Amino acid sequence: MNKEIVREKLLLQVEEDGADAADQHPCCPHGPTVLFYRQSETPSDGFYACSAHRNPKLCDFRMDKIQWEGNRLKRLHNVRDYPESTMDSDPDPTNHLKALSQDEVHAQYFFDQKALEFFADQCRLLKINQVVCMGAPRLHFHLRRNHKIQSFLLDFDERFGAYLSPQEFCLYNMCNNHFFYNREPFELFLKCNNNDRVLIVTDPPFGCRTELIAHTLRSLVRLHNRINCLPATPLSIFWVYPYYMTNYIKQDMPELQMCDYKLNYTNHSRYTNVGIARRSYGSPVRVFTNVPLELLQLQPAEGYKYCDKCQRYTGIENVHCDRCGNCCSQNGQTYRHCQFCDMCVKPNYVHCTNCRRCSQREGHVCALYQSMQRCWLCGQRGHIETNCGLWLQLKRRDRQKKKDRKDQQYGCIICGHRGHSERKCTLRCRYFKESQFMGQALIVARNKSNQKIRKL
């Protein structure tokens, strides 16, 4: 007998900045822990575990929240004096140090020369003169040696303490924003003049939870604003991550957009455009940024072009879609527009009339596939438009009593016409009210008796 396995989403909670002693999380050797709890549970039923090590064999710290509160344990302070550098800081140690390649912990990969020059070029264009390199050691050495840009390295590899002074390096856990040494030198680095411009470049392990990195980035921005007595002023951010993590990043930091520049690493066989094991369409690594994309410049000699309609640089393989109003390709292929989905999809995708969407393969299980989709009507995940309960309620209240459409796989459910989807239907405003904020759409059903906000 087959038993259905229900996998609940594992939620997490990080320690808030400036939390009181009674509210702080317990510490493992890698700094403050993270509170994990199941979607069906409350945070009080959760447990604390290491933020840096996802494998319990590497850090087996685990404590139930009830136990932490019941014993009233005091937070363990893991603060010590910063070690003095013992070597000349001019050589770049990433050229000879063995990279830490344990993917579940460090996943230490170094940018190639073109990627380093890409970051340096954007700093010049944006007039950036101070850079926080969070998990990007090779970029730190490159900027200060070749471009005379002030840089501060925050990294989980304590070996860099032998090459760098306290004024430009601190042992740091980006998953919980924990400084293992005195962080006063870093705060002095963030102290800016009126003409200074600061950029944060973070290159976290690709297995990191995006919620943790987003929380850390927001914490650093608040620290910068507090030190400089500024209001809620955003800092420029470059977050290096694969393109297929776009939805996760947009969920946590909707203000970030993906730049089409493909970053290569020197010591990874697949995240590069050279070698036998390289991916067919180049490296999947991109830069997510809150800097307007029209301000960034990509080099035509490296396979990029300027789109006059989008007013930004994109990959040479990308073709502008007038219907979508964008250059939609993300993975290095030339996307095509599906008239039934009314959106651009990968060239190898096949349209499924039952699911009303394009899928990467034929013969998929429609029920399973639909359970992972987001409804184009209400914006909720778990069903498609033909099974939308909210739409059925609105339709029953429609005094016009329109006839049911038989051709719902191809035609718009709202108006019954072909050539567009429910997302772009001109009659949509009769049933749904939408507003845009920070890259997210808030959907409100036009139902006076019971309005609910839906996130698309």
Domain shared by 209 and 115, yes or no? yes
User: What is the per-residue pLDDT for 82?
Assistant: 41
Rounded Cα distance, 393 and 372, in Å: 22
Q: Which residue among 22, 41, 71 closes a domain?
A: 71
User: What is the per-residue pLDDT for 66?
Assistant: 65
Domain shared by 32 and 174, yes or no? no
Can you tell me the mean pLDDT for 108-128? 94
Q: 327 versus 280: which is more confidently predicted?
A: 327
- For residue 126, report the phi and psi dihedrals to the nearest 5 degrees: -90, 0
Q: Could you give the number of structural domains in the chain?
A: 3
Examine residue 344 and state whether it is found in any structural domain, yes or no: no
Q: Which residue among 39, 71, 103 closes a domain?
A: 71
Residue 50 has pLDDT above 50, yes or no: yes
Rounded Cα distance, 454 and 442, in Å: 6
How confident is residue 257, by pLDDT bands cut at 50, 70 and 90?
very high
User: What is the per-residue pLDDT for 446?
Assistant: 65
How confident is residue 398, by pLDDT bands cut at 50, 70 and 90?
low
Examine residue 20 and state whether it is found in any structural domain, yes or no: yes
Domain shared by 136 and 233, yes or no? yes
Examine residue 22 and state whether it is found in any structural domain, yes or no: yes
Examine residue 283 and state whether it is found in any structural domain, yes or no: yes
Among 88-102, 210-224, 297-311, 365-379, the least confident range: 88-102
Residue 242 has pLDDT above 70, yes or no: yes
When the pLDDT of each residue in the chain is averaged and rounded to a whole number, the result is 81
Rounded Cα distance, 373 and 385, in Å: 10
Domain shared by 166 and 281, yes or no? yes
User: What is the per-residue pLDDT for 19?
Assistant: 57
Q: Which amino acid is at 310?
A: C
Domain shared by 24 and 100, yes or no? no
User: What is the per-residue pLDDT for 337?
Assistant: 95
User: What is the per-residue pLDDT for 1?
Assistant: 39
User: What is the per-residue pLDDT for 194?
Assistant: 87
User: What is the per-residue pLDDT for 327?
Assistant: 95
The angle subtended at Cα 191 by Cα 186 and Cα 196, nearest 5°, is: 120
Residue pLDDT, tens place only, 318-366: 999 999 999 999 999 999 999 888 899 999 999 999 999 999 877 889 9
User: What is the per-residue pLDDT for 12?
Assistant: 67
Examine residue 241 and state whether it is found in any structural domain, yes or no: yes
Task: Give how far Cα 375 sits from Cα of 7, 364, 371, 383, 406, Å.
Answer: 21, 19, 10, 6, 19
Domain range for 266: 93-297
Residue pLDDT, tens place only, 174-213: 999 999 989 999 999 999 998 899 999 999 988 889 999 9
pTM of the model: 0.73
Domain shared by 208 and 280, yes or no? yes
CATH number of the domain at 280, please: 3.40.50
221's tokens: 């921005």
Domain shared by 418 and 379, yes or no? yes
Domain shared by 108 and 227, yes or no? yes
Domain shared by 120 and 60, yes or no? no
User: What is the per-residue pLDDT for 63?
Assistant: 74
Q: Which residue among 297, 315, 330 closes a domain?
A: 297
User: What is the per-residue pLDDT for 456?
Assistant: 40
Contact 9, 41 (CB under 8 A): no
Examine residue 421 and state whether it is found in any structural domain, yes or no: yes
Domain shared by 180 and 292, yes or no? yes
Q: 396 versus 365: which is more confidently predicted?
A: 365
Task: Give how far Cα 256 sits from Cα of 134, 333, 364, Å.
Answer: 17, 22, 33
Examine residue 265 and state whether it is found in any structural domain, yes or no: yes
Residue 134 has pLDDT above 80, yes or no: yes
Domain shared by 133 and 218, yes or no? yes
Examine residue 422 and state whether it is found in any structural domain, yes or no: yes
Contact 250, 439 (CB under 8 A): yes
The rounded percent of the chain whose pLDDT value lies above 90 is 47
Domain shared by 48 and 151, yes or no? no
